[in-house]
Amino acid sequence: MSVGQCDFPTMHPVAGIMLGTACAGIKQTVRDDILVIQMAEQSTCAAVFTQNAFCAAPVHVAKANLAHKPRWLLINSGNANAGTGEQGLQDALLSCAELAKVVNGANNQVLPFSTGVIGQPLPVEKITAALPEAIKKLSIDNWDKAAHAIMTTDTFPKGVSKIIIIAGQSITINGISKGAGMIQPNMATMLGFIATDAKISQAHLQDCLALAVEQSFNRITVDGDTSTNDACVLMASGCSSAPEITSDSEHYAVFADAILSVCKQLAEAIVRDGEGATKLIRIVVEEASQTEEAVRVGKTIAHSPLVKTAFFASDPNWGRILAAVGRSGIENMMLENVQIFLDDVCIVRNGGRADDYTEEAGQQVMDKDEITVTVKLGRGEAVEEVLTCDLSYDYVKINAEYRT
């Protein structure tokens, strides 16, 4: 189940970036579950990772290897290699070594990523056996297969492809991601991989990614859970004929905006695919005193099980939204200044139910698949948006049966 039409787009090749997939049979044998991404030798690479204290073994290894000009990414689905202690760390390192052996590279030039069930040993022997096939299939045209290979409970593959023009030359930006549950990113999504053929330094690339992630993946939530394995990677092959992008260049803002656009589209796709989701909810907080305040109010509403179940039931129980705003921890909130809307229907004004609100008007909005909740705090000029979905019977069923 997903909200809205979510067809996988046509993905333009990114020069200098090759992708290969294979089926290792880690948890299932129906589709590929191994992805190898190879970057051109001159490529730069940036990444952000989960802030969960129990971060997975591959996260530790990828963080360390990021400083060694990585050339390859090794991703597996079906097993998170998280909560696996020292053995998990050794398994992640061994996986990197096995790939390095096949491609004749250095162990520390491989960044490993895993997603799936927590607490189970990584079947390194299965991954090792599948690596030659994945390498054999390396191609610039495998974005669709790559998006499928990283899926777990996702109901559809998620991808975005964008071309921008800088100094008369084209720059391609592609992105794929996976995620449907355990989504309340505190850096990125569960897994996201973005590639471009632009020329840009690692430092500038890292700045672009950090800013884009904060305004996209860090503004979504399905269930309020931050994964042990969250990671988002931005690769730049440098194969475009466009001039190098520097921070003092007029082209930097254009490039950064394009990266943000790709991240926002991928983030929205994750919410549309929220486990059991039937509605996409945009929560826009306006007139906040600062960004952090607006995000806090938005996420308090988005995380409320009572709010989320009301949306699933299409029940205009506006009191639940009011209560969430009230408990968001905003000091000295002037209740008479607060306004709350369902789409363009005002439900709260002057400290209580809006005089002109009718249950019929609220019901018409709640019956939609996509709804915007707007909260005007009357405290300043900051505006932020948080995306979430409803909480359905299927969410409980999917997660209750996740390991069976």
DSSP character at residue 189: -
Can you name the residues that pair with 340 across neighbouring β-strands? 348, 375
Q: Where are the beta strands (DSSP E) in 186-311?
A: 191-196, 231-236, 280-288
Number of other CB atoms surrounding residue 85 within 10 Å = 10
Catalytic residue among 84, 152, 189, 388: 189
Dist CA 180 CA 271 (whole Å): 7
Instruction: Please name the amino acid found at residue 348.
Output: V
| Structure-block tokens of residue 226 | 């931050």
Dist CA 310 CA 321 (whole Å): 10
Give, in degrees to the nearest 5, the angle at Cα 154 between 75 and 33: 30
Closest CA to 215 of 255, 171, 261: 261
182, containing H or E segment? none
Closest CA to 271 of 155, 143, 162: 155
Instruction: Please name the amino acid found at residue 387.
Output: L
Dist CA 290 CA 304 (whole Å): 22
- Annotated catalytic residue 115: no
3-state secondary structure of 353: strand
Give, in degrees to the nearest 5, the angle at Cα 342 between 307 and 278: 55
149, containing H or E segment? helix 143-149
Contact 191, 73 (CB under 8 A): no
Please give the positions annotated as active site.
189
